[in-house]
């Protein structure tokens, strides 16, 4: 079970969100201050931190947790919305959500972070595909056969799975997969997407898994 370390001093909000997260299937350790956070951090898959806390503030706690364990995704959840606060938060944290937030939006962001950091061993079904999001093991449900991808196709699909439901622009995809700046007019990405579609789509000429969002980019929608 995915374990979330949640630090929030407000009793009402803390209790409500802990319950919501537990209902969504997470194990939650809720603390009302940063005291003792380190002892929970080593077993946590993700940390959600408020900023204004008694004693050490959320920024200091977050920096400390990140320093001790860089693979721990940290989500700042704060009522402080100033640009300076967001910039300070995002200097070490992986996401910054402002209050009042919608629990569904928070849950979606938690999922994205867990996927990005490969913390959840989740199997999702995407049309005719069954995908293990951690190992990116892809099986065609219709034939029960595994779909094998080449190196770049794997990285490309991994990128889509880590950013499920998000539109990724050509530049973002190219930079994440090839690790270089995208040069306008380069067809490499399109060619690889075509090959990937040929492997995973039922009808590659009318793709339904990797959507083309005209003028913006591509998206894999769950």
Partner 1 sequence: MRKLFGSLQAKYMIIILFALGLFQVAYIGGAIAFTSLSNQIDQSDTPEFEEVENSWHAAADRTAADEAGVEQLYKEWSERFPEAGMFWISSDGQLLSSWNVQVELQHQWSQADIVAFMKSRYGKDPYTVVAFVGGDEQNGFVVIELPRELFQSPYMHVYDQFGVWLLGGIFIILVIFIVISYLFFRSIRKRLLHLQHAMSRRNDDGLPEPIHVKRPDEIGQLEHAFNDMVGQLNDGRQRELNEEQIRRELIANLSHDIRTPLTKLRANAYTVSKFTLPDEASAALQTMDSSVRHIDELVDNLLAYTLLSSAQYRYEPKLLQIDRFLREHIAAWYAVFEQHGFEIDMRLSELHSTAWEVDPIWMKRMFDNLLQNVLRHACEGKYVAIETEACQGYDAIRIVDRGQGMDAMTDNKGAGIGLSIVQMMVEGMGLTWQHYRRNDEFIVEIRRQADMKITMNN
Q: Which is nearer to partner 1, 79 or 147 (CB)?
A: 79
Q: Closest approach of Cβ 17 to partner 1, in Å?
A: 7
Q: Closest approach of Cβ 150 to partner 1, in Å?
A: 26
Q: Closest approach of Cβ 56 to partner 1, in Å?
A: 17
Q: Which is nearer to partner 1, 12 or 180 (CB)?
A: 12
Rounded CA gap, 67 and 61, in Å? 10
Contact footprint for partner 1 (CB under 8 A): 10, 12-13, 16-17, 20, 52, 78-85, 98-103, 165-169, 171-172, 213-217, 219
Rounded CA gap, 8 and 23, in Å? 18
Q: Which is nearer to partner 1, 191 or 213 (CB)?
A: 213
Q: Which is nearer to partner 1, 204 or 217 (CB)?
A: 217
Q: Closest approach of Cβ 104 to partner 1, in Å?
A: 9
């Amino acid at each position: 079970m995915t374990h979330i370390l949640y630090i929030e001093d407000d009793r009402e909000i803390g209790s409500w969100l802990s319950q919501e997260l537990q209902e969504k299937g997470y194990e939650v350790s809720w603390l009302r201050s940063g005291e003792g956070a380190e002892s929970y951090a080593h077993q946590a898959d993700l940390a959600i931190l408020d900023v204004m806390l008694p004693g050490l503030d959320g920024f200091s706690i977050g920096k400390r947790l990140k320093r001790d364990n860089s693979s721990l995704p940290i989500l700042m959840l704060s009522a402080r919305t100033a640009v300076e606060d967001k910039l300070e938060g995002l200097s070490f944290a992986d996401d910054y959500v402002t209050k009042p937030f919608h629990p569904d939006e928070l849950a979606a962001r938690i999922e994205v972070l867990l996927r990005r950091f490969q913390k959840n061993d989740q199997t999702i079904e995407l049309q005719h595909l069954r995908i293990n999001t951690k190992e990116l093991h892809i099986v065609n449900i219709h034939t029960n056969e595994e779909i094998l991808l080449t190196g770049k196709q794997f990285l490309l699909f991994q990128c889509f799975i880590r950013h499920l439901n998000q539109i990724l622009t050509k530049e973002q995809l190219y930079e994440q997969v090839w690790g270089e700046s995208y040069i306008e007019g380069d067809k490499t990405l399109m060619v690889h997407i075509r090959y990937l579609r040929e492997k995973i789509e039922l009808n590659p000429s009318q793709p339904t898994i990797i959507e083309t969002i005209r003028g913006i980019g591509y998206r894999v929608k769950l």
